[in-house]
Chains A and B, each alone.
Chain A
Amino acid sequence: MSKMTLRTEGDTHLIVTRRFAAPPEAVYRAHTDPKLIQKWLLGPDGWTMPVCINEAKAGGKFRYEWTNDKGGGFHITGEYLELEPYTRIVHVERMHLPDATPDNHIETRFEADGAGTLMTMRMTLPDGKTRAAMLATGMERGMEASYVRLEGML
């Protein structure tokens, strides 16, 4: 698989691309089916997602709770704004640390790319400061890795 790219755009956008060796339908399902989400949206080893509530419809809510084997934990809540099977998901989410971070608006697109899929995730933060905060917390999709790294830095 080609490597993931991550770039900033302007003051408030963060864009991630990644190719997958599966058709858009499968990648879309892996992003919306709780049983599948719980298998990969976990960050580093040692973390699990015991609670994965995911109402994949426009206006539907989701709640992901993570915990690690040392008793640590936090959660993300969000709402779906638009769902276009199997090409596009628009949602907002915030991380609870336990205080809620500002909303992160995320549009995820799945395009057929040969036999696979090109995923483009565009995150929009209210302002540059929030984006910087998000980069700092690594909150998007597996923030736990940043904690592990930081343990060695502190």
Chain B
Amino acid sequence: MQLATANGTAPERGREHPQITDIRPNLATHSLDGAKFCLTINIHLYKLYVMHDLDAAFSALADPTRRAILGRLAKGEATVNELAEPFEMTQPAISQHLKVLEDAGLIVRRVDGTKRPRRLAMAGIEAMDQWLAMLRKALETNYDRLDEVLAGMEPRKKGKER
């Protein structure tokens, strides 16, 4: 999956994720007339429940160091020292990046004596991957159809502008 982020915008520090309670009132405001429309609304709400984590996840990925950390963790669990080593960064700086990734639900920590090794949180990664994949699929379906429309269009003759 392609998930390039062009400019490394730092995410807001300490931003609160919207709570589920912020979303729940929407349930009441949607008119649920007809079972067929219920599905659409339920899906929309389901997505609202999930999206607050996605927001943080995309912000977390906007930084190249954090993407590199994820790349390292994709190979397996690692301690903070191990993660800091290739980056020529201080441990506190790495720890700050790890906190952003953790808050975004992209990595999790484990207690191992005095160590706190980190690993990828597959649920977070997969949720993001799925949404992007769905959008990609929807767009690709349309553009494949547009290819056919374009193939069937007559080239417009000069002087026939509307």
Contacts and interface: CB of A to CB of B under 8 A. Distances in A.
Contacts, number: 172
Interface residues of A, number: 57
A22 interface: yes
Contact of A142 (B42, B132, B138, B156): B138
Contact of A72 (B11, B31, B37): B37
Interface string A120-143: 000000001101110111101111
Contacts of A136: 47-48, 50-51, 54, 131
Interface string B139-159: 111110111111101011000
A30 B156 CA distance: 12
A71 B140 CA distance: 24
B36 A10 contact: no
B3 to A, nearest CB: 7
A128 B153 contact: no
Main secondary structure of the interface of A (DSSP, over half): mixed
A42 interface: yes
Contact of A141 (B131, B142, B151): B142
Nearest to B135: A138
Interface of B: 2-7, 9, 11, 18, 26, 29-31, 34, 36-37, 39-44, 46-48, 50-52, 54-55, 58-59, 61-62, 130-132, 134-143, 145-151, 153, 155-156
